[in-house]
Amino acid sequence: MPRAAAAALSVLVFSLAAGCDSGDQPATGSAGAERVDAGEPRGEQAAAIAAPALREHLRALQRIADEAGGNRAAGTAGDRASAAYVSARLREAGWRVSRRPFRFPYYRERSSSLTVDGRRLRRGARFRVLAYSDSGRVSGGARRFGTGCARSDFAGLQPGEIAVADRGNCFFRVKAENAARSGAAALLIANDPGEAGVPAATLGRPGARIPVLVVAGDVPLADGTAVALEVDAESERRRTQSVIADTRGGGGGRVVMAGAHLDSVPSGPGINDNGSGVAALLEVAEALGPRPPGRVRLAFWGAEELGLLGSRRYVRGLGSGVRGQVAAYLNFDMVGSPNARPAVYSDGDPGLADLLRSAAGRRLPGASTRGSSDHAPFLETGIPVNGLYTGAGETGPGGKPADPCYHRACDRLRNVDPAVLVEMARAAAEALRRLSAREGR
């Protein structure tokens, strides 16, 4: 789940306290919520989902991350191995599997530094490198210009000088292109003086020919100020994929879909975010089998952490007629948080929310998702959506986060509560079984 989107989720009161540990044994605990009448008779498939099988998937994803430098981020060896693992397990379960490769703009900052007038600035608080900046080591005098939105703004710039432009009026990429064409060795974009800190920002895609940084508005950058900077980053186009699995049987003209994103962030292995959703859907595939009453499609999305790229690409590729054949989409992103109170999406389809509550057999509160995960492209096209979610950085009981290792290196096997994950996986399987039965009539 992307950090900015998760931060926008409504704050929930959670029912279980636990912490982050650097070890690799699963957390233990129980969600402990009030039970409700399940209403519709429950199938046997969901009850067959158990912790050992889910743990097997999580251990496999942890091992993949460990062998690939600590993460499973889109475009990396860990990403490719995760897709191969998921594909193999789905084929073993009898599902028809296809991979949907696509290219995306990849960026990773290894290190950076900025010194102004002899004072080294703190990264994150006083400066940031813009995503897709070029690498380089540069030193020289600063030269202040206007907004940099026109190439003429840099008139008089001497080759090798470090250009300084004010923030605003046009995209950062436009400023960077104009500065590079004018011969600047690097570009510093001064943040608004009245705004605290510096924003995380992007140039939008690879191709910048100079290092580009944004600095706090109160950093003194008068003409001639001595500046030294260094950026070591990768900026290129890479390939990732989504994995799509379809049942081999099932009647009815419409398909029921469910999805979970496959990638992690670069900073960690992503075992709760979102190995938990991946493990849950793999066990759903086993529980439902390849021939449920109606058609079911499972999606393991690529590059969710970079802006829902895989799911957006998939939905864009659906024609209006095919789009109408998708009866519903259920999303499972972070469903094993160690300090969790499971929730449904309050801004999703109310009928699907009721279905998930009934499938779980308990009263699940609502969490406002605001387009934070792969359900968003489906929602935008009018397809009914909902999902299960157990929390990211929101404050839980005792003032602790629902997931204290969210987007961190400690999002390892220990960071997943197996009891919560079993409950969510069983609810997912039961909800999909019921939807499949309805569409298969």
Distance CA 78, CA 116 (A): 38
**End-to-end Cα distance, the chain:** 35
Q: How far from 317 is each of 92, 240, 297, CA to CA, in Å?
A: 28, 17, 16
Distance CA 250, CA 311 (A): 24
3-state secondary structure the chain: CCHHHHHCCCCCCCCCCCCCCCCCCCCCCCCCCCECCCCCCCCHHHHCCCHHHHHHHHHHHHHHHHHCCCCCECCCHHHHHHHHHHHHHHHHCCCEEEEEEEEEEEEEEEEEEEEECCEECCECCCEEECECCCCEEEEEEEEECCCCCCHHHHCCCCCCCEEEEECCCCCHHHHHHHHHHCCCCEEEEECCCCCCCCCCCECCCCCCCCCEEEECCCCCCCCCCEEEEEEEEEEEEEEEEEEEEECCCCEEEEEEEEEEECCECCCCCCHHHHHHHHHHHHHHHHHHCCCCCEEEEEEEECCHHHCCHHHHHHHHCCCHHHHCCEEEEEEECCCCCCCCCCEEECCCCHHHHHHHHHHHCECCCEECCCCCCCCHHHHHCCCCEEEEECCCCCECHHHCECCCCCCCCCCCHHHCCHHHHHHHHHHHHHHHHHHHHHHCC
The closest alpha carbon to 137, from 165, 167, 110, 107, belongs to: 110
Token pair for residue 146? 């206007």
**Residue among 161, 177, 286, 304 flagged as catalytic:** 304
Which residues have a Cβ under 8 Å from the Cβ of 122 and sit 6 or more positions away?
Answer: none
Whether 109 sits among the annotated catalytic residues: the reply is no
Catalytic residues: 304
